[in-house]
Amino acid sequence: MLIVIDGPAGAGKSSTAKAVARKAGVDYIDSGALYRGFTLLYVHNGQNKSKFFDVIDEEILSFEFDRDTSKAFIRGEEVTDKLRSEEVTRNVSTVAALPEVRRKVSAALKNAALSRNCIAEGRDLGTVVFPDADLKFFLTADIQERALRRHKEIRAGAEPANLEQVKENLLSRDHQDTNRAVDPLKKADDAIEIDTTRTTFEEQVNMILTEIQKITPHKH
Ligand code: CDP
């Protein structure tokens, strides 16, 4: 079984997908972590695209998919805890717009989904990477609500942030992700849209679980 969730940052994709994965007994795949892994490599190379492309060809970046964590490694050393730094977040949509990077991430995602039942979340999963997924969802929420959520999340972590900057980053990534030439953020025609602005976390998790039950034969 393959379930995909797409949508903009802060709409609740990861937390919802993780909870659904746990309850449905499937693995969780975070496609953003892969784009963030490439972005970390780009940052390590001074944000210089030609150096970055040389390093990509060395295949030093690798990924592992645990039940609920998508992990990144550079030359075998785990860098998962560096993927959500402010610098990576600021650059990720630029790196994710590069066709070479998208090709590599898509291949890694397809490979990961071959061997497991999973729920994967991202921007172009229902439209480009997994057009034949068993179920597709598109999560959205008002920008103000998304900025508040993300701000709260970041404040709980190590790096300081101010609400206006968080909101600006979300708007700038929304713009880049929606308008890029390759695989833009877009709702698949057959995706079920859930606006999470006013739903509770339990409600959105249950909406997805209900749809999964509809396509899963009853076990007696
Ligand atoms: O967690 P958050 O919503 O902040 O972002 P993410 O899921 O970690 O994704 C980070 C960035 O990667 C997005 O803003 C996109 O630019 C890119 N991305 C993408 O282009 N396609 C995907 N399937 C997933 C992420």
> Cα-flanking dihedrals φ and ψ of residue 47, to 5°?
55, 35
If DSSP codes are grouped into helix, strand and coil, which group holds residue 126? helix
pLDDT at site 59: 87
- CA 220 to ligand 1 center in whole angstroms: 39
- pTM reported for the whole predicted model: 0.94
Residue 70 zone, left/alpha/beta (φ > 0; ψ -120 to 50; rest): beta
- Cα four-point dihedral sign 103, 109, 111, 114: negative
Beta-sheet strands, E only, within the chain: 2-6, 27-30, 61-65, 70-74, 77-78, 118-122, 135-140, 192-195
Average pLDDT over residues 121-142: 98
Question: What is the end-to-end Cα distance of the chain in Å, rounded?
Answer: 19
pLDDT, tens digit, 9 for 90 and up, residues 9-27: 999 999 999 999 999 999 9
- CA 32 to ligand 1 center in whole angstroms: 4
Average pLDDT over residues 13-42: 97
Nearest-CA residue for ligand 1 atom 16 is 93
Residues with CB under 6 A from ligand 1: 9, 14, 31-32, 35-36, 92-93, 96, 122-125, 173, 177
Return the DSSP state at 10: T
| Index of the ligand 1 atom closest to the CA of residue 109 | 23
pLDDT, tens digit, 9 for 90 and up, residues 78-110: 999 999 999 999 999 999 999 999 999 999 999
Residue 217 has pLDDT above 90, yes or no: no
